[in-house]
Structures are given as structure tokens and as C-alpha cells.
Chain A
Amino acid sequence: MNKPLAITIAIVVVIIGFLLVYSQQHGMSEQGAQGHGGAAGGYGSAPAAGGYGSAPAAGGYGSAPAAGGYGHAPAAGGYGAPSGGYGAPSGGYGH
């Protein structure tokens, strides 16, 4: 293996390793967000649920989330996937 390739692979491995460790340190969002507020000046901690619309237990689009916005993925009903695009994996209209 040529040296530049080995160096590049090492860089990628180190960065992904860092991201892995970083992502597994939960419950540190408040410190992090405030520590690096940047332009927006820190946003405080992100609640595990709630904040920007908590998960309604049922109901489709238009069912009121507990607190404003369009809410997280509803446990049943509604649409918009927590990930992946179409509809809700946890009920609703599918993927």
C-alpha cells in the first residue's frame, strides 16, 4: 500500500473513530450546544421528546403535538418519517 493512501485511510479511521465515541456520549447535548453556540449562541439541551412538538400518541397530520410545531414522529398516525422520507415507520402511513 502506498504511503499517501495509508495516511488517508488512517485519517478516515481516526475521524470515524472520533465520531463513534462522540456519538455514544449521550446526555451531553446541553454542554456541547452551549459551548459552541456560534452564530446562534447555543440552543440549550434538546429534550428527548417534546420541545419541538412531542409525539402525539395517535392521530394524523393535524393532530396537535403536545407543544407546538408539527411534532416528532407520531406513534401512530400522521406522516413524516423520523428517518427515511416517507411517512412514519412507527405507524402512520408507512415508510
Chain B
Amino acid sequence: MEENGTKNKLWAFIITGALILISLMYYNANVFYMYLVAYIWFGFAYGMMLQYGRFCFASASRDLFAAGVPRMAVGILVALMFFSLIQATLASTNMSTFHPAPFGIHTLIAGLIFGVGMVLSGGCASGSLYKIGEGNMTSFLAAFFGLCIGQAVFVDVKWFDFLIPQKWVATAAAKGIPADKMTSSFDTYLAGYVWDQPTVRMSDTAAIKAALPGAAKYFIGDALLTALIPAVILLIIIYVFYTRKGFLKKRSKQKGSPANGFGDDAAGMWNMITASQRTTLMGVLIGIVAGLHILVMKGMQLRFGVDNFGRLLTKMGHTGDVSISGKVFDPGYWYITSQEGQFGAWILEKFGWNMHDNIFFGVNNGLPEPWRNPALWMSFGIIFGAMVMARLSNEFKFKMPKGELIVWGLLGGLLMGFGSRPALGCNIGAFFIRVAGGDPSGWLYGTGMVGGAFIGVKFFNWWSERKMAKEMEAF
């Protein structure tokens, strides 16, 4: 046991040391790579925090719907609340990289597909990455075949043309995109539908702008109205449905008199929030670090005078890495999935598949070599950060998937990949970041995601009962 602990500590230091060395090598190669180094270390920090707090949207849904345990869901909402305040602060000082996404029914549908997928695979997009760091190979299957390969294939095939209305085809054609860059069903969907949807950010709406000039519009419009109030309402709903009864019963026993006043409920809410200090603490920290991440990325952009890392790659002569718009995927904040899709496309190109002939890679996000892909480094950082934390807590365990876990991992991963593309993000990029940034479309995605997770949990319950019944029959 002791020997294992020593080995784990050694591995933790080796991984951390290797990342420091890699960072120094990047700096030595060109100072512009400091932009990429920032992604590595914020990814590393996210990984450590996610692993320590067991932060996973799939676990949150499963615990809540299957076991009635709200710990993780509460932690996520706490993180969201803190992050929204930091986002508002950054926006008010013009140091935010956040931008809202097109608002439409597609967001809800995509969230639904993603929600089912994350429950089946046993981890959301960010959760899968930190679980890979813990040695969970089911999560690796989900991330590699679903988020990487699945996503890349999804954006480049014509398989879904039968779902595309003629109107979208005509609208997309009118955009004037080169024909060799618009070949897939997803391209038509993007250019013919998504890009024409309105983007909404509360602080940008006419009513909020008129009523709240100056910085107040960010704190009240984006943070208070879009994130804080809905999050508090959700906390109250969770409290009422999952913990109130048990808490008040216990409190009545302790007091020796009925506990049914406002003070008792307030104590119950506080008890629920602080029930798992580990998760709540990580919620607060993740919110703060995600805000710092935005500040640093915006600072890097200002320092180097660019709006995208692709500009720096071009300056360094890596023109093959960038899209025809001169960019690569560079969210400027915590984001998962698009970079995994890039990694999948990069692999498929090695097998001769042309991945540059679509809007996603060819026009918008580029296909940089993995070692020059900033957002992909963030994902690697998450895996390594989680690995270090798991090693230091002696929680690292290499677990190979067996039997049906392989099927769930693959199927869930594919659904996550398919569910993240139409909404242009996952549980982080399409929900967490958007809601905290004042974009109500995040709640639309979140509603779909929770609905999908509910369906996934119910499916699993049905499957398990059916399996047990069969086993009992055989017995």
C-alpha cells in the first residue's frame, strides 16, 4: 500500500514536471506559444478540481434522478452562480471573451441527445476527460470514438441530407461559401439555418440596455437575471423535492417541536448546499478559475494583438493549420468537444479522409497539428490534471471496460458527439459558459440535457430490472 502511494506520488511529479518542461520548450520555440501554454495550465487546474470534486453532469443527473442525492447538482449550480458574477465583472471591464450563440429549438434537441449520451457513457464531456485521468477506459472509449471520431465524421458526411429542408439548401447557397468547403449535411444546417438564428445576451437586449446603462447591465442582466435567479429557483426546487422532508423531520426531532418555519427552510437550504463541502468548494473554485481563464486569454489576445491563435500560427508560418478564415478553434474560455472533433479529424486525415472540405474545419476551426492546437491542449491538461490529483489521492486505477460497458461507452460517446455539434457546444460550452455569460440559450440546452439525462436514467433502470429478471429466471 505504502509502496503504491510512493509510486503514485512519483507519477504525479513526473507528469507535472513533464508539463512544465513542455511549457518551457514552447516558450523557447516562440513566445507566441505562451498563448497555448495558458490553455495547458488552465486545463490542468480544471482537471484537478473536477477530479477532486467528482464534478460531472452525468453523475449529477444520475444521482438526482436515480438515487435522489442532489449533492453534485447543487455543486454545479453553486459554480454557475460564482462564475456568472466573475463573467459580469470581466464583461464590465471589457475583458471578456464570451459571445452568445444562436438561439433556437435546435439547442433544446441537441441538449436532449447529449443528455441521453452522457448518462449512457457514464460521464459528460468534461467528466469523461477527468475520468480518463483516473484510468477509466470506458470514458476513453466514449471520448475517443464518440467525441473525437464521431464528431469529425458527423460534420463531414451527407448522411443527414434527408433531414435538410430545401429552404436551408437555398439559404446556405446564398451565403457565397466556396463549394468545396460546403459539402456535408452539417454544412447546410449551419449556413442554412443556425447562422440565421438570433443571438441573445441579456445585457445586449434593448430593454436592459435602456434600463441599466453602464456596468449594471452585466451584473443585473447577465448575472442576476440569467444565472443567479434561475439557479436559486432550481436550488429551491431541488430542496423541496429531494431534501426538505428528511431535513425538517430530523430538525423537528432535534428541536423537540415542529420545524416548519422560514428559518427552518433556510437552514435546510444551507444544509443542502454545504452537505458536501468538497463539491461546493470545488464549485466555487471552478467558477473563479473559469473567470481567471477568460481574463488571461483576453489578456493574451491584447498582448499579442490578435483575436485568435490562428493569427499567431500564421505569423509563425504554420498556414496549413488554419482555416480559410485564418483561424483555429480558440474559444477563449473553458470549452470541450470541438477540439476533440479536431483531433478525430486529424486522425482521419492520416487515413486519407479529406476533412478540410467542410465549414466546421475548413472555414471556421481549422485543423492544426495536435501539438499546436490550443484547445486540444486544454483537454489534455484536464486529463493530466485529473491524473495527478487521482494519483496523489491514491484513486488512480486502470479500469478496462468489459461486456456491455463497451457498448454503453461507445453509444453514449457517439450520442454526446452528435448532441454537442448541432448546439455548438456541450455541457460546458453550451450550458455552463453560456448561462453564466448571460445567454439564455444555455438554459435551453440545459433543459434538453436534463431531460435527456432523465430519459437515460429511466432507460438504465428499465434495462437493469430486465436484466435482473432474466438472471433470476435462469437461476
Contacts and interface: CB of A to CB of B under 8 A. Distances in A.
Nearest to B198: A94
Given A19-B38, A83-B332, A87-B195, A46 B30 contact: no
A74 B317 CA distance: 23
A82 to B, nearest CB: 4
B304 A29 contact: yes
B95 to A, nearest CB: 9
A3 B363 CA distance: 48
Interface string A69-94: 11111000011111111110110111
A94 B102 contact: yes
Given A81-B99, A81-B364, A94 B31 contact: no
B21 interface: no
Given A20-B296, A26-B299, A36-B27, A94 B199 contact: yes
Contacts of B424: 84-86, 95
Contacts, number: 214
Given A60-B176, A79-B195, A89-B100, A16 B332 contact: no
Contacts of B44: 12
Contacts of B393: 5
Main secondary structure of the interface of B (DSSP, over half): helix
Interface in A4-54: 4-5, 8-9, 11-12, 15-16, 19-20, 22-29, 32-33, 35-40, 43, 45-49, 51-53
Interface of B: 9, 12-13, 16, 20, 23, 27-32, 34, 37-38, 41-42, 44-45, 48, 97, 99-102, 175-177, 190-191, 194-199, 289, 292, 295-300, 302-308, 311-312, 314-317, 323-327, 329-333, 335, 338, 359-360, 363-365, 385, 388-389, 392-393, 424, 429
Given A33-B32, A79-B364, 20 more contacts: A5-B393, A8-B388, A15-B20, A15-B23, A16-B296, A23-B302, A47-B305, A62-B176, A70-B323, A79-B325, A79-B363, A80-B323, A80-B363, A80-B364, A83-B307, A86-B364, A87-B195, A94-B101, A95-B101, A95-B102
